[in-house]
Amino acid sequence: MSSDHFGDEDDGSEPIDTLARYCEAHGWPHEPVGEDEIVTQVQGSWTNYELRGVWRAEDRVLQLLLFPEIKIVEDRRGAMFEALSLINEQLWMGHFEHWSASGMILYRHATLLSQDGGLPLEMADTLVQSAIDECERFYPVFQFVMWGGKSPSEAIAAALIETRGEA
């Protein structure tokens, strides 16, 4: 998405402000959580995602957290950990992890921003869209392991089949 989709302001402003403008441009309801965090909901093709942006100004790090609606059930915990490991081997940026307190799966990516701490809208678009794309790509793997009874390697093979041509 080019900066034309967001209006004229693409000045690399404060990361949370930029993410708020990005959400507004997409029509996503959002709310700040203090001065250094924002939360929104994003509808994917498989599920609804909670997206959080957390800014640590002292480190100049913007962290994006994307929560698909997936909780690990106890009897599939080992298989899900294996699936997380196999999936993470394939990622160039970010990673999936399990939050033990809630049992939730999430995608996390941190970005070190420039000295001024600005986040251009086009960079926000790239970061958010790549997080959503990774969650969309691997969501079926989690479902195959959790509910389909597939092994992690079978689930990845089934979920990542690339189709060629048109039907």
What's this model's pTM, rounded to 2 decimal places? 0.85
φ/ψ region of 153 (left if φ > 0, alpha if ψ in -120 to 50, else beta) reads: alpha
CA nearest to 152, candidates 96, 90, 97, 81:
81
Query: Residue 32: what pLDDT?
Result: 92
Q: What would the DSSP string read from start to end of 89-124?
A: TT-SS-EEEEETTTTEEEEEEEEEPPTT----HHHH
Mean pLDDT of the chain: 88
Domains of the chain (ranges plus CATH)? 3-74+87-137 (3.30.1460.10)
For 62, phi and psi rounded to 5 degrees?
-105, 125
pLDDT in tens, 7-47: 444 455 799 999 999 999 999 999 999 889 999 999 999 99
